[in-house]
Amino acid sequence: MSTRPIYELFIDAKGGFFELLVNDIPFYFYYNVGATAFRLNINSFIPKSGTQQLSLRMLCVEPGEPFPDGASVELRIDRYEKGSAADRITVLDYKNLTLHEIKSGLLLHEQTFTAEVPYTLSFINSVDLSNVNEDALRKDMEEAYKQYTEAMRSNDLAKYTELTRERQENIFSSLYVDDAAKRKQEATYLSGINHAEVKLYPLQNYKLVFYGHKKLVGLQKIKDAPGIYIDSSNPADAFIEYILFHKKSPSAPLSIVL
């Protein structure tokens, strides 16, 4: 087994919107008109070695209509040693060039692959939230959203770091970031933000969502990944901060884990 394996997802999609989930965790949602293709690292969505699941939901831009001629999707996951991207091994490969034959305009595809990683991420030890009061969950998350947004607005790096510590440690572990690089990244968490213009998007415009087989929870805008929409009087400065919460035990508070 390689010592620092990177798992990278490639998608090339034409003729529809799509949602990608890795291990039932939102990875990328695309609701723009037009083709798209990209490669992105998925290590932070792989909590430990073993069988992993990739889920694709692709739908026609016109709801209920067949996909247009030329609609297609290609998915691939490659593995390589960190720093040696040229030496790729494909571990998952899927291609559908005949989407126009799907009259419902909806494609659901699931596929598994095996990953071997030298780390274990903290969300592997999350409790099932199925029986937790949803009103209480939402209240706790709304308060966290307010604190998170205020930390950005006031440029409070210490508070932002406190709120995101667990998530960042998972990212650092999965990307094999050393201590020196961690310190550099931590110092730039709030860089490039027009702090004075930051404001909280109205909370009533979010819905409560569960992922990770009911062990992760978040608030989510329609047609967006779960997370805080950092609003601004200047639309060009607005952006989404991906956020999912979990509980480490039934009595533990919610914490940001992804």
Q: For residues 191 and 66, what is the distance between their CA atoms, to the nearest angstrom? A: 44
DSSP single-letter state for residue 158: H
**Average pLDDT over the chain, rounded to an integer:** 93
Residues 18 and 85 in one domain: yes
Q: For residues 176 and 169, what is the distance between their CA atoms, to the nearest angstrom? A: 10
Query: Which of 15-24, 44-53, 61-70 is predicted least confidently?
Result: 61-70
Residues 47 and 140 in one domain: no
Query: What average pLDDT does this structure show over 159-174?
Result: 96
For residue 2, the model assigns a pLDDT of: 66
Residues 25 and 73 in one domain: yes
For residue 210, the model assigns a pLDDT of: 96
| Contact of 144 with 152, CB cutoff 8 Å | no
Query: What average pLDDT does this structure show over 163-187?
Result: 95
Residues 250 and 131 in one domain: yes
Residues 171 and 197 in one domain: yes
For residue 232, the model assigns a pLDDT of: 82
For residue 1, the model assigns a pLDDT of: 53
Which residue range is the domain that position 58 belongs to? 5-118
Q: How much of the chain, in percent, has pLDDT values that exceed 90?
A: 79
For residue 116, the model assigns a pLDDT of: 97
Give the model confidence (pLDDT) of 149-162 as tens digits.
999 999 999 999 99
Whether the predicted pLDDT of 122 surpasses 60: yes
The residue from 103, 118, 133 where one domain ends is 118
Residues 112 and 185 in one domain: no
Residues 90 and 135 in one domain: no
Residues 192 and 241 in one domain: yes
pTM comes to: 0.92
Give the model confidence (pLDDT) of 216-245 as tens digits.
999 998 888 898 888 887 888 888 899 999
How many domains would you assign to the chain?
A: 2
Residue carrying structure tokens 């071997």:
116
Q: For residues 96 and 107, what is the distance between their CA atoms, to the nearest angstrom? A: 10
